[in-house]
Structure formats: structure tokens, C-alpha cells
Structure 1
């Protein structure tokens, strides 16, 4: 089981490397890693389990964050519909890549956080509002998916990790809280 002690923090060299592509089909170790990363996210969103194991809540994690420089990410984005029994998007993505994206950009009103960053970093992080991704699932099947708004932001954040990019690299260093022209702030549903 992955816990916070397995998550490396900013400053660790693995977080700045471009992760290696994974050969399909995955080996057992890679499949196990993908499942454990997804399990970590699900556990981190369960208040009792999170408290018991001192997990910080997360919606996405990339293999480089657990010191494995391979192109594999897990996301578990809960639905914003209180009646929903299924998450909005929950899967492991192997060798994910963005194959198209909107010109329209968006960002989270409170900025972004990261399991590998133990400090608050204020600032808007511009992301594409809509993306289309291609990836392999754990069984080695090629998948395509369209994502918008929060799910799109989460996947872009995690793909950045595969390329050695941290979210704060995308914040305007001179004026972190200035909204660039055309950047839409994603409204929370609460």
C-alpha cells in the first residue's frame, strides 16, 4: 500500500526527469504499481482511511512521485453530483498523451496543490479547458477520452509530472494572481 512516506517531495531529482515510456503489455510490477497508485487516491479520499494512514487527499498521482520514472498516472476524480455513486473519472493511464486541446484555457480559483509539494504556492495555473487524450489501460488496450474542466486539469497536471514539470512552473512569476486575457476561472460547484 502506498502512503505519504512513499511520495517524494519537491527538490528530488526524479521529479524533474522526463519519464520513460512503458512497453505494452505491462509487466506485473508496472500493473501492480498502477493499481496501488489508484488505490492510494481512493484511500486518500476516504476520511477514515486517510486519517488512519495520514494520507493527504489527492485526485491524481504520477509514477515519478513515488520515485518510479515511468509514464504511468492514476486519477480518481469524484463526481460533483452528490447523488452519483460513481466517480467522474477514475483510471490508470499508461503512456498518456494529449492529442488535441481547446484554445480556451481555464484554471482553478484556489490554484493547484500537489502531493509532492508541502507548501502553499499561490497563483493561477493556466490549463486547457478541454483535452482529448490517448493512453493504454492496465490490460494494454488503447483508449481515447475527452475531458473537460476539472478532470482535464487533473490529467494535465499529472502528464506534466511525466515531463519533469511542476505546477508552479506554469504560474506567472512576476504576477501570480493576475488573470491572463481569456483565462477562465473554473467555478466550484459547491
Structure 2
């Protein structure tokens, strides 16, 4: 089980490296890593388990965040239509995206960043993603809004990019041309 002590923080240089493609079919080691990443985000959203194990809540976590430079991540969140999006993405790619941008009105956070970094993080409002799932099946998925933002945040981790790299540091809350805010309401 992944705990907060297993998640590396922003000062670790591994978070700035590009991850390697994962060999398919998944090795037992890679499959276990993927399952543990998904288990973390699920457990972190369970109030009882989060409190018991002192887990920070998150909707996604990428392999580099636990010190593994592999192109895989897990997401577990609710889509705009109320349906659950729970997946492991192996060797993910964005194959197309909107011209329109979106950003979280509250800014983004990260399990590897133990501080608040204020500012808007511009992302594509809609993406079409391709990846291999935990069962080895090729998936193609259209995402918009918060799920699209979360996918892009985790994909950035695989490329050595942290969310605050995308903030305009001269004007963190400045207008995002062609961008629309997404309000998550009371929680993530």
C-alpha cells in the first residue's frame, strides 16, 4: 500500500525526468505498481482510510511520484455527468485536443507539492487520449473539463513537468486567452 512517505516531493530530481515507455504486456511488477497507484487514489478519497493512514486526498497519481520513471498513472474521479472515471493509463498520449483552454478556478494541487502555489494552470478544455489499460486493452477516450485537466496533469508528470511550470508567474491569476474557468465547488 502506498503511503504519503512513499510519495516523493518536488525537490526530488526524479520528478523532472522523462519517464520510459512501459513494455507490454505488463510485467507482474508493473501491474502491481499500477494497481497500487489506483488503490492510493481510491483510498485517499475514503474519509475513514485517509484519516487512518494519514493520506492526502488526490484524484490522480503518476509512477514518477513514487520514484518509478515509467509512463503510467492512475485516475479516480467523478465526471461531469456523475459517472465514475477510474482507470490506469499505460503509455498515455493525447491524440487530439481543443483549441479552447480551461483551468481550475481554485488552481491545481499535487501530492508531491506540500505547499499552495497560487495561479491558474491553463490546459486543453477537451482532449482525446489513447492509452493501454490494466488489462492490456488499447483505449481511446474523450475527456472534457475536470477529467481532461486531471489527465493532462498526470501526463505532465511523465514528461518531468509540474503543474506550477504552466502558471504565468508574472500574473498568476491573469486572463487566460480562449480559456474558461472550471469551478469544482466544495471539493476535489
Same fold (TM over 0.5): yes
Question: Which residue of the partner structure matches residue 157 of structure 2?
Answer: 161
Q: Is the 8 A contact 2:79 2:146 kept in 1?
A: no
Q: Is the 8 A contact 2:64 2:157 kept in 1?
A: yes
Q: Distance in 1 between matches of 2:176 and 2:76?
A: 29
Q: Alpha carbons of 1:49 and 1:80: their partners in 2 closer, same or farther (altered >3 Å)?
A: farther
Could you list the runs of 5+ residues in structure 2 that have no partner in the other structure? none
Question: Which residue of the partner structure matches residue 182 of structure 2?
Answer: 186
SS of the residue 1:55 aligns to: coil
Matches within 5 A, 1:20-169: 20-79=20-79, 87=84, 89-169=85-165
Q: Is the 8 A contact 2:72 2:89 kept in 1?
A: yes
Could you list the runs of 5+ residues in structure 1 that have no partner in the other structure? none
* Deviation at residue 80 of structure 1 after TM alignment: 5.5
Q: C-alpha root-mean-square deviation of aligned residues, in Å? A: 1.2
* Deviation at residue 79 of structure 1 after TM alignment: 4.5
List per-residue Cα deviations over 1:17-65 (Å, max 9, x = no partner). 0000011101000000000100000000000000000000000000000
Q: Distance in 1 between matches of 2:144 and 2:106?
A: 18
Q: Distance in 1 between matches of 2:185 and 2:176?
A: 23
